[in-house]
Structure 1
């Protein structure tokens, strides 16, 4: 067993971050303890707990793991997942001068938290395509419970190698569409064979990543942008096709109907170079209202 205390620069509102993480039923969130148990996939499967003991302006965390041999790699991964190297006060100051100032004041210090592995991110994006949130969450949960595994009370997504061997009919029986089943299995086969290396994508530009991913059947711009944002932590993505963002902009600017892509582009000009944070806070603005 090991334990590490980490202090980072504020603002960083872990409580609001956990509130968003708790939307996903697969996440092991304990809001009253200000704690989340997360699955670490590399270099080996391990459950690690991350608990806040500081404040939004003076953030401090305790990380606990079991394997001393992998401690350094695990802490590095936790830093990436929770984006502890991102300076949120600079981002917050930027948005205080924009039309999103009220939303950023209300949700001050809310970070982007990455999916626990890049592969998980793509799987979740493909499953969620063109589905309402409730059904998408239920379908993802069913998929992980069927093909993934549980360790110390935390669920791990199945590996690409495992998913590559699933028969399409199995997923169809779980309410996957024919195409979505094909997309998921096809993607997993590319990764399992080494034809697609997600770790290598991390060193490429947003444009190069997008160009690589959209060649894959079942991955379009929306999925590529979500992967860049929540798989790799890129700061300047604004998925125009996202219904949630469209609804949030409609509400924020009191529009009679959903904005056009051109209107969204115009609204977002002043939000560069932190469009990913504009996206997150716009999502937050409608999540907290529901």
Structure 2
């Protein structure tokens, strides 16, 4: 099965990680505990994560807010009524428009059931979501971490998390993906919370 974290055990998990890793302890000592970032398990949240792919969080939020203005409530049925031009007016690229439509169709057809995913293990969720055009491992990682709060995910495709990991551990810029993942092994089964600490460090440096 999968482990989850929640407000009830979040600080305890941070403390456990810090007790075994002086670098994570230092983050907490210098910057306090990271926020417990979370999002609701909705179609709108997945649209938001798709919009966040390879752009700044601010740009993604602008596009999401424009979509909200346009359709009032972001649901699969409502976004499928939008024309290409309407999507474009909401700052959605042609590619992301396609991805959002695929997701909407998958939910309407029952191919994807977000509620059912709350009971599924990581690998089954990853298989189902990455079968959709435009959803890759980074998008699934963010969904598992922020929405379902699965406790053992390290988003190796996330630049902020990876750069923070390299800085905190004094690793070379050229350190490979495999070597980075090997470093994160020590944080199992709480790699998600370790990543939250790294993001907290990264944002505190910005």
Q: Indicate the residue corresponding to 2:205 in structure 1.
A: 289
CA shift, 1:258, in A, is 5.8
TM-score (norm 2): 0.87
User: Structure 2 CA distance, aligned partners of 1:248 and 1:258?
Assistant: 14
Aligned to 1:196: 112
Taking a change above 3 Å as real, the CA distance of residues 224 and 137 of structure 1, as seen in their structure-2 partners, is: same
Secondary structure class of the residue paired with 1:96: helix
Task: Write out per-residue CA displacement over residues 156-190 of structure 1, whole angstroms, 9 at most, x where no aligned residue.
Answer: x5122212222233112333221110101220122
Structure that is richer in strand per residue = 1
State the match for 1:210 in structure 2: 126
TM-score calculated relative to the size of structure 1: 0.63
Aligned length: 202
Cα shift readout 1:12-38 (whole Å, capped 9, x = no counterpart): xxxxxxxxxxxxxxxxxxxxxxxxxxx
Structure whose alpha-carbon radius of gyration is higher = 1
Distance 1:146 1:273 in 2: 42
The structure in which a higher percent of residues are helix is 2
Q: Does 1:84 align with 2:10?
A: no
Aligned to 1:203, what secondary structure does the other structure show?
Answer: coil
**Cα contact 1:83–1:233 (8 A) shared by 2:** yes
Higher RCO (Cα < 8 Å, 6 or more apart): 2
Q: Which sections of structure 1, spanning at least 5 residues, go unmatched?
A: 1-79, 149-156
Unaligned runs of 5+ in 2: none
Aligned residue among 93, 97, 101 for 2:16: 93
Deviation at 1:87, TM superposition (A): 5.0
Q: Tell whether 2:180 aligns with 1:264.
A: yes
RMSD: 2.2
